[in-house]
Amino acid sequence: MQGGDSFSNLQLSTEQLTPLHAVQLESVARRYRLLRQGVNAVFFTVLWFVLLCCYLQPWWPLPVDLSDTVFHGLWVIPFLGLLRALYCWQSDKHKLFALREHDISYKSGIFFQKMITQPVVRIQHIELKQGPLERKTALARLQLFSAGGAMHTFEIPGLHLEQAQQIRQFVLQHKDALQDEQQQ
């Protein structure tokens, strides 16, 4: 960290700063929403087929109670699947993020909205995570760790891979980033 640097925030007056509630939020990748819908559909379909097989198979006669439950399950499960699909679609729509000069924000929630702001200066390390399906679809999750503890790990899901890499680069190249590490 060079002492001679001038800090650009210093020159701005408060009105010129973009306040948190006025930042332009970007939504997460559309592919991510589709992926979640797909996973949801596959999960409930498999569950439904398992139940159907249980109900129709001739080898193990089911007790009457259980067979009733299974029968009702055959219409309850698609219903639950539909509800979850609707919920996921809406909640994914509300997953937004924004970058400012010195911090990253992530907003989520339909009824209980929550906006987490992680200052870049306090980021200790960064992880880019990709599950097998995310790898197939070139999506990534970005995790930013601060000293706030494991409970407060900052995560943005459903980013395009190149977008996630750009954000990571932005954090790493930020002139204040990881200064705590260097001071150690």
Partner 1 sequence: MNNSNEPGVAIPSEPRTEQMPEEMSEHLPEKVSGISELEHADGQGQWQRVSPIAILYFAVAVLRFFIGQFVYLIPPFILLFNRIKDNPGFAAGLLSGLLLLIVVSAILKFYYFQYRLSAGTVEIRSGVISKKYLNLPFNRIQNIKLEQPIFYRPADYVCLQLDTAGSVQQEARLVALSRPFAETLKKHILVVHELTATVAKPADSDNSDDTKPAVVAETEQLLNQRSVRDLIIHGISNNRIWLFLGLAAPFYNQLADQILGFLLQVGIDLPALFDPAQQSWMVIGLYALSLTMFIMLLLTLFSVFGSVLSFYGYTLHKKQDNYIRRSGLLTRHEVSMRLSRLQRVAMKRDWLDMLLGRVNLSFEQINGQQQFATEQKIMVPSVTPGEASALLSNAYPDNQLSSIDFNSISRRFIWRNVVLFWLPAAIIGPVSLWLQQQPQLAALSVIPLAFWALLIVMRWYRYGYAQDDTYYYLRRGYFGVDYYCFAKYKLQQVQYKQSWLMRRPGLCTIKLITASGALEIPFVKEADGRALLEQGLLQMQRSKKAWM
Exposed e or buried b for every residue in 51-85, given b needs 16+ CB within 10 A?
beeeeeeeeeeeeeeeeeebeebeeebeeebeebe
Q: Which of 1/56 has CB closer to partner 1? A: 1
> What H or E segment, with its residue span, contains residue 182?
helix 179-183
Query: How many CB atoms sit inside 10 A of residue 2's CB?
Result: 5
Q: Which of 53/184 has CB closer to partner 1? A: 184
User: At its nearest, how many Å lie between partner 1 and the CB of residue 78?
Assistant: 28
User: At its nearest, how many Å lie between partner 1 and the CB of residue 132?
Assistant: 30
Q: Which of 11/58 has CB closer to partner 1? A: 11
Q: Which of 105/137 has CB closer to partner 1? A: 105
3-state secondary structure of 135: helix
Q: Which of 35/123 has CB closer to partner 1? A: 123
User: At its nearest, how many Å lie between partner 1 and the CB of residue 101?
Assistant: 8
User: At its nearest, how many Å lie between partner 1 and the CB of residue 157?
Assistant: 17
> What H or E segment, with its residue span, contains residue 56?
helix 30-56
Q: Which residues are at the interface with partner 1 (CB under 8 A)?
A: 1, 3, 7, 9-10, 14, 17, 19-21, 102-103, 111-119, 121-122, 146-149, 151-152, 154, 176, 179-180, 182-184
User: At its nearest, how many Å lie between partner 1 and the CB of residue 88?
Assistant: 18
In contact, 20 and 103? CB cutoff 8 Å: no
Question: Distance between CA 72 and CA 16 in Å, rounded?
Answer: 60
